[in-house]
Amino acid sequence: MENILQEIGIDNYIYLSTLLFCVGAFGVLYRRNAIVMFMSIEIMLNAVNLLLVAFSTYHQDAAGQVFVFFSMAVAAAEVAVGLAILVAVYRNLHSIDIDNLKKLKG
């Protein structure tokens, strides 16, 4: 079996990554729910990771794939901290709507 990248083509990976990134950016910009915003940020990070792996495979260099591992570790830490902040906000406001965070100014 040939290399999967040669069968599918690098341009299809670029199109898919662009589509995923745009969906994630749309979710961050137009949704007010904090959980949906976190999921949209994760979609954007995964789009970038997909592109890094595709280009790494295309150029036959493992540096992009190593960078993806570090990026996934940072994304996991970001989700853990973000969810901890959301739990703290929910305990104070009983809502996770972003517009209600203005009440926390004091």
How do residues 54-99 score in pLDDT, each as one tens digit? 999 888 888 888 999 999 999 899 889 988 988 888 888 787 777 7
Per-range mean pLDDT, top range of 16-20, 32-36, 70-74, 75-79: 16-20
The pTM of the full predicted model, rounded to 2 decimals, is: 0.82
CA distance 106 to 103: 7
Measured in residues, the chain has a length of 106
| Residues ≥6 apart with Cβ < 8 Å to 24 | 40, 41, 42, 43, 44, 47
